[in-house]
């Protein structure tokens, strides 16, 4: 099997992308099993992987994006191919990455059909037990990263409330509200709680709330059902709000209205990690320039669809280790056999040979 790793193109001018589709360490393991890799020069530079790292692993460095695509049977991406990459994709090619068809341009659907592409979305890969093998580990990264981001945005120079997340003796800590008790939400809740913040975790599924309570005895995590009444009440005193709501393959539900944002404290911070699927606040958006930090009604918004690029090396290792078992299967058995033997791979199909699954059509 021949894999191509192009250098990622930032989706917007003001939104960087440092991650790369596969690490050299993971590539070496597949090369030992007979795979070939063609890597665009400097593809891994942003994540701290040099061209020499890839060549030492046994990969071949190529000097144009066109060649990274043209030589490959399977192209390993982080993000959905950008408009300028459409010209490089060849007929019948397999593309893998975080595709997020729900926010894709109509032109992309046309390209898939015309070039008879097969598309795997990491965000919809789901095994027999309902777990998301790629989303879960990358969500853990995002959950832990949220503490770093929130702490910096709360600082006075950027217009934040100027408070310390954990407080000190005699000075109360930050009030943190998290919508969604999935992997991202739970890891964020634990991280904020460990710093000493007061955490309120909301979800509509009782089992998720029970799990976090049993896993974190004695913590500063309060669980609540995610109702409109509870959200309205709790946002009024929140210093930090984390949106961590996921419905695989679908647009995120809007849980926070503009009126709720108006009721929040000035200088509070809202981090919408659901923005790659539309966001769960009416005030969440991705501007045409890609500016992902902005203020609405005095509330600082962080809406970066590729937030884990801020810790690109960790994120790349995380993605690589998550998809490695599937690429190993494809390398050893071929794509057709792999699709029959792996439920997660089959569930990850957005399109097969140009035929887009009906539920993902615009």
Largest separation between any pair of C-alpha atoms in the chain: 65
Angle between helices 135-153 and 312-333 (to 10 degrees): 170
Do 24 and 53 meet the contact criterion of CB atoms below 8 Å apart?
Answer: yes
Q: Is 276 a catalytic residue?
A: yes
Q: Which of 203, 272, 276, 317 is catalytic?
A: 276
* CA 174 to the chain's CA centroid: 26
- Residue 235 structure tokens: 């946002």
Helices (H) and strands (E) in the chain, counts: 12, 15
- Residue 197 structure tokens: 């913040």
How far is residue 1's CA from residue 149's CA, in Å, rounded to a whole number? Answer: 39
Residue 309, classed as helix, strand or coil, is: helix
The position carrying tokens 């099997």 is 1
Do 327 and 21 meet the contact criterion of CB atoms below 8 Å apart?
Answer: no
Do 349 and 20 meet the contact criterion of CB atoms below 8 Å apart?
Answer: no
Q: What is the dihedral of CA 240, 244, 250, 254, to 10 degrees?
A: -30
Q: Which of 100, 187, 301, 317 is catalytic?
A: 100
How far is residue 295's CA from residue 301's CA, in Å, rounded to a whole number? Answer: 6
Provide the annotated active-site residues: 100, 276
């Amino acid at each position: 099997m021949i894999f191509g790793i192009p250098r990622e193109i930032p989706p917007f001018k003001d939104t960087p992308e440092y991650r790369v589709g596969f690490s050299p360490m993971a590539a070496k393991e597949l090369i030992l099993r007979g795979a070939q890799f063609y890597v665009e020069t400097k593809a891994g530079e942003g994540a701290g992987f040099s061209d020499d790292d890839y060549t030492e692993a046994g990969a071949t460095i190529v000097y144009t994006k066109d060649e990274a695509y043209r030589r490959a049977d399977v192209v390993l991406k982080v993000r959905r191919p950008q408009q300028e990459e459409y010209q490089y994709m060849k007929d019948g090619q397999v593309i893998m990455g975080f595709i997020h068809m729900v926010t894709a341009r109509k032109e992309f659907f046309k390209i898939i059909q015309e070039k008879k592409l097969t598309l795997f979305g990491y965000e919809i890969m789901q095994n027999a037990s309902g777990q998301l093998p790629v989303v879960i580990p990358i969500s853990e990264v995002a959950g832990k990263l949220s503490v770093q981001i929130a702490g910096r945005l709360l600082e006075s120079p950027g217009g934040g409330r100027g408070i310390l997340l954990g407080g000190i003796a005699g000075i109360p800590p930050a009030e943190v509200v998290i919508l969604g008790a999935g992997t991202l939400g739970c890891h964020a809740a634990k991280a904020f709680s460990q710093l000493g913040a007061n955490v309120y975790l909301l979800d509509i599924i009782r089992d998720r709330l029970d799990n976090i309570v049993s896993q974190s005895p004695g913590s500063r995590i309060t669980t609540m059902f995610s109702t409109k009444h509870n959200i309205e009440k709790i946002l009024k005193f929140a210093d930090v709000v984390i949106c961590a709501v996921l419905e695989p393959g679908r647009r995120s539900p809007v849980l926070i209205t503009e009126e709720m944002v108006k009721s929040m404290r000035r200088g509070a911070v809202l981090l919408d990690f659901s923005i790659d699927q539309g966001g769960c606040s009416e005030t969440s958006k991705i501007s045409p320039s890609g500016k992902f930090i902005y203020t609405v009604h005095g509330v600082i918004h962080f809406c970066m669809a590729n937030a884990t690029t801020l810790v690109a090396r960790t994120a790349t290792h995380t993605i690589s280790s998550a998809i490695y078992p599937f690429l190993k299967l494809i390398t050893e058995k071929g794509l057709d056999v792999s699709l029959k033997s792996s439920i997660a791979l089959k569930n990850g199909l957005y399109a097969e040979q140009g035929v887009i699954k009906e539920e993902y059509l615009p």
